[in-house]
Structure 1
Amino acid sequence: MTLYTIMSGEQIFEGMWKEQPPLLEMQIEGRLLQIMPVNERSGIIVRLINGSLYDYLDSAYAPGREISLNAVQS
C-alpha cells in the first residue's frame, strides 16, 4: 500500500494496534446492538447490528449514544 501524504507514519498509524476494550452484543427492544461498557451500569453504542431500516435513522440507536445497561436483556 502506498500513501501519498505529508504526514508522518507515526501520525497515520497512531493507535492502530492499541488493545480495544471488549464489546458486548445486547438485544434492546428487539434490536441487536454492539455496546462498549463504560461501567457496570452504562455503555456506549458502537453500532446497530440488526433492526428495521427505520432503526438506523433513529437517534436513540445512534453510535456514540450512552445508554443504561440496567434494563437491558443480554
Structure 2
Amino acid sequence: IYGHTFGMAGIINVAATSLMLHHQRLAPTANHVTPDPECDYDHVAEGPRDTEIDLAVSLSFAFGSQTSVMALEHA
C-alpha cells in the first residue's frame, strides 16, 4: 500500500492490472474486512485468488477531474 503518487498513479495501476492478467490472479482489496450484506458483489478480501482473466479495465482518477481508462486483454 502506498500514498498518492500523483503523475505515476495511472501507470502503477496499469502495471498492477497487467501483472494480474499475466499471472491470472486477482489481488485482494486492502483493508476490506466486512462486506455490506446488501451489496451483492464478489469481493476478493481473503487473499489473492487464482482465476481466468481475459479482459481487465484499469481506471485512474486524479485531482482536477482528470480521468484515464485503459482496457487490457490477456494475450
TM range (shorter): under 0.3
TM norm structure 2: 0.24
TM norm structure 1: 0.25
State the structure with bigger RCO (CA 8 A, min sep 6), 1 or 2.
2
Higher Cα Rg, which structure: 1
Which one has a larger percent strand, Structure 1 or Structure 2? 1
